[in-house]
Amino acid sequence: MANDNPLVCAAIAGGACYPARWLAELFPWWKRLGEPSESTEDRRERARQRDLAEARETAALRRSEGVDGKHRRVGRRRIGLGEVLIRAVRVLVGVPIALGSLAILPLGISAGHYNQRLVADGPVLQAVVVSVEEDKWSKYHDVTVKVADPAGGAPVEVDGGNDLDPVPAVGDRIDVVDDPENPEYVVAVAVDWSTPWWAWPLGVVITLLCLGMGLAIAFG
């Protein structure tokens, strides 16, 4: 009969709730029946920490694999023909510069010593100045002095003509020495051909600069 009357069912259900409410208010353990126990909380915390640790390890492994893969991709990068040609040109240009720089100091010093030997060995000749030309691009007013070759009469440039003091004029006679091995090479006798003290450190600096530039071009 109660099943056929909804109002009676509702009244019975409502009346059954009062004892449960009384127990919940009277006994605190009744309230904690739906809460997890301490052991359950500990298991959940350990599981959460384990999941976090596994996530960190997985992320670190992925990062390391990504870096290694990038390095492998870089290592496998193919060198194109254009890059090979550029490297070859740099080596062909830089290596001669580096090697040539090593000859700057000895060649410069030997040139002065060679002229010294020519002047010392002689014979000293008189040559007529045929032209004195000023270098228009030089801010130091450098000049080129030419004389009539004592051997053949053809105009030849005098090595050291710019260092003559005073600068000779056309028609003047100056003392020169012919190179026996190269008659067209004429050296002025009045010039001091000894190597000055500053030539050594200057030659070393220039040599090192050119050497560094050549190596940087070839292998930089």
Q: What is the pLDDT of residues 3-16, one digit of tens each?
A: 444 444 445 555 55
What number of H helices and E strands is found in the chain? 6, 5
**Residue range 104-199, CATH number:** 2.40.50
- Confidence at residue 91, expressed as pLDDT on a 0 to 100 scale: 86
Bridge partners, 144 (sequence order) = 133
Residue matched to tokens 């390095």: 71
Delimit the domains of the chain by residue range. Answer: 104-199
- Confidence at residue 1, expressed as pLDDT on a 0 to 100 scale: 44
Give the mean pLDDT of 74-82.
64
Which helix (H) or strand (E) segment is 89 a member of?
Answer: helix 81-101
pLDDT, mean over the chain: 76
Task: Check residues 2 and 112 and name the one with the higher pLDDT.
Answer: 112
Residue 176 burial (10 A CB sphere; 0-12, 13-18, 19+): buried
- Confidence at residue 7, expressed as pLDDT on a 0 to 100 scale: 45
Task: Check residues 120 and 6 and name the one with the higher pLDDT.
Answer: 120
Over the stretch 57-66, which tens digit does the pLDDT of each residue have?
888 777 776 6
Residue 29 pLDDT > 60, yes or no? no
Buried b (16+ CB within 10 A) or exposed e, 94-127: beebbeebeebbeebeeeeeebeebbeeeeebeb
Over the stretch 171-211, which tens digit does the pLDDT of each residue have?
888 888 888 888 788 888 888 877 777 877 888 888 888 88
Which of 10-14, 23-27, 126-130, 216-220 has the highest average model confidence (pLDDT)? Answer: 126-130
- CA atoms of 170 and 178, how far apart (whole Å): 20
Residue 25 burial (10 A CB sphere; 0-12, 13-18, 19+): exposed
- Nearest of 6, 189, 11, 206 to residue 105 by alpha carbon: 206
Residue 166 pLDDT > 50, yes or no? yes
- Confidence at residue 178, expressed as pLDDT on a 0 to 100 scale: 86
Is the entire prediction scored with pTM above 0.85?
no
Q: Could you check whether the bond before residue 196 is cis, i.e. omega within 30 degrees of 0?
A: no
Give the mean pLDDT of 107-126.
81
Lowest mean pLDDT among 91-95, 133-137, 158-162: 133-137
